[in-house]
Structure 1
Amino acid sequence: MISETSAGDASKLEWVKSSYSDSSNSNECVEVATAPDVVHVRDSKNLQGPRLAVARAAWKAFVPYVGEGC
């Protein structure tokens, strides 16, 4: 996990809501924003709250497993 953003000004990130977020339940919303070296993840209900930043390679390895348990 990366504790500092390498995206420069984090306010310029373009956040996208996950297609797996349940639109019928606004309590289950995840958003992601990509930067050159990291992928940022946040809870869309708490835009100023904490966010997770992971290396792009780690994100790429993680994504295939996201939907397997659903």
Structure 2
Amino acid sequence: MWRKSSHSSDGTTSQCVEIAQLTGSIGVRDSKDPGGGHLALTSEAFARLVERIKGSG
């Protein structure tokens, strides 16, 4: 099941992603184009991505 952040519905941004627990990986896709494919990341790579995003704000 794909999930979008609750912050995505605030109406101030159109840059949203969805994530899902996939078999053996975590999927990341563009919420505006759910049929356009997704990235499959290991849990370690996903954790590093989240930490980098948090650090850029």
Bigger share in helix? 2
| Distance in 2 between residues matched to 1:58 and 1:40, nearest whole Å | 11
Bigger share in strand? 2
> Structure 1 length as normaliser, TM-score?
0.63
The number of aligned residues is 57
Aligned match of 1:44 = 31
Structure 2: gaps spanning 5 or more residues: none
**Matched-pair identity in %:** 33
Output the aligned Cα RMSD: 2.0
Aligned match of 1:33 = 20
Whose radius of gyration is greater, 1 or 2?
Answer: 1
Indicate the structure whose relative CO is greater, using CA pairs within 8 Å and at least 6 residues apart.
Answer: 1
Query: Which of 41, 49, 57 is the matching residue for 1:54?
Result: 41
Structure 1: gaps spanning 5 or more residues: 1-13
